[in-house]
Amino acid sequence: MTTTKGLEGVVATTSAISSINQDVLTYRGYSIQDLANESTFEEVVYLLWNGELPTADELEVFKKKLAENANVPDAIFDVMKSFPGTVHPMAVLRTAVSALGVFDPDADRMDAHSNMEKAVRLQAKIGTIIAGFARIRNGEEPIPPKKDLGLAANFLYMLKNKIPTDAEARMFDTALVLHADHELNASTFTARVCVATLSDIYSGVTSAIGALKGPLHGGANEQVMNMLEKIGSVDEVDYYINDALANKEKIMGFGHRVYKTGDPRAKIIKKMVGELTGHGAETKYYDMSLRIETLMKEKKGLLPNTDFYSATLYHTLGIGNDLFTPVFAISRTSGWVAHILEQYSDNRLIRPRAEYNGPGLRTYIPLSER
């Protein structure tokens, strides 16, 4: 056996969902640039789950089903009200998604139709859960979703009790498109390992949320924003970055295990943040980010990944720092579900081996002689 730390470069399965080839990201063969510019998140979810873009009629039916399933059981919000105020929203999301399985009478049905129905229920409710908890911890009641708003606009509405502008809704929708799937990342692999045991879809997504919670995966964008706030101003950027690098501290939001010439998603988000600031939004964090990008390229040869500029985008849209990773989960649920459905369709238990590096065979010593 050959050991590869972190499974870097190991091909663990085949998949027809997304591809990263020569730093080009595609969903079902469509480039992320085309989808970000032309598509909507609902279209992308349909594409990931069904393999083809929907017709106008198919999309209308799909959006209607999502809208009809967006409400969350009151019992789940009641449980949230008992949580301590310091709990991280990702821990809440992990618990709430697991609890959704308790309320779904079809949770353990494994036929293709039931799994697709559960997929719709899950995707529709993720944003409602996150926005609802954000209000509960502020002493406010959750706001029910509107059936005439898409997933992106509805989340911003439920979060702030204000209908977003078309520009805000479109930018957030594009961010959801960009983060919908990313080949066999840590959380997606976790989801596939879970359901390869023939566990249910709720268990698979709950497992994925647990993996996404870590700062080396989904939690990176939250840490980027915390860093920007700590730096405080453009004038302090050089000192902070130089000092951090001198102390061998990791600058979150830079570099990527797979991309070598730059993350294509980062380029799109950077452009969107520039457009937001060009329309009167706060420019401080964007200006700071531009300077940090320049320094990191000069000093370390590293380029920003999608987490770096998405932090400023979400902040500018009025989303709190510790909601960044749950927001990521709204988007990535679509990819997790696509991979779960694909795993079910051609399943084999995922059971790798480990190279043992402990003591050799030893003779047991009775307790009385130790």
Residue extents of the structural domains in the chain = 32-214+328-345, 220-316
Low-confidence ranges of the chain (pLDDT < 70): 1, 278-281
Provide the token pair at 322.
């510790």
The residues annotated with a catalytic role in the active site are: 256, 307
* Distances from the Cα of 59 to the Cα of 30, 64, 66, 346, angstroms: 17, 8, 11, 27
Angle at 297 between CA 212 and CA 265, to 5 degrees: 40
Provide the token pair at 90.
């990702």
Q: Which CATH architecture has domain 220-316?
A: Orthogonal Bundle (1.10)
List the one residue out of 203, 27, 52, 43 whose CA is nearest residue 118.
203
Which amino acid does the sequence have at 197? T
Cα separation, 323 vs 32, whole angstroms: 24
Q: What are the start-end ranges of the E strands in the chain? A: 18-21, 24-27, 30-31
Q: How many CB atoms lie within 10 A of CB 300?
A: 13
Which of the 8 DSSP states describes residue 234?
G
Whole-model pTM: value is 0.93
Beta carbons of 300 and 248 less than 8 angstroms apart: no
Cα separation, 82 vs 137, whole angstroms: 10
Fold adopted by 32-214+328-345? Citrate Synthase; domain 1 (1.10.580)
Cα separation, 176 vs 124, whole angstroms: 13
Beta carbons of 300 and 244 less than 8 angstroms apart: no
Cα separation, 251 vs 223, whole angstroms: 9
Cα separation, 182 vs 12, whole angstroms: 15
The alpha-carbon radius of gyration of the chain (Å, integer) is 22
Q: What's the confidence (pLDDT) of residue 232?
A: 94
